[in-house]
Amino acid sequence: MVPLTLAEGGGKSTVVKITGRDEVRQHLAELGFVVGTDVVVTNRLGGNMIVSVKDSRVAIDRDMASRIMVDVG
């Protein structure tokens, strides 16, 4: 289990845990980041990331990405 910020680009990862305050976890859930969901890092721009999740592409910053714990196996 590693933060999404350490996941390799192009590889599929599975969301295992979301950390942070309730408001942060709720916001990420509304974007599609829920436990058991597959995500793919499609691009990195500076400290930000573009991630494919549930047939959508979402841009998130490094702080938000560090709260999303994934299993890269």
How far out from the chain centre does Cα 51 lie? 7
The CATH number of domain 2-71 is 1.10.1040.10? no
pLDDT score of 35: 96
pLDDT score of 73: 67
Sequence-distant (6+) residues with CB within 8 A of 2 are: 69, 70, 72
pLDDT in tens, 12-70: 999 999 999 999 999 999 999 999 999 999 999 888 999 999 999 999 999 999 999 99
pTM here? 0.91
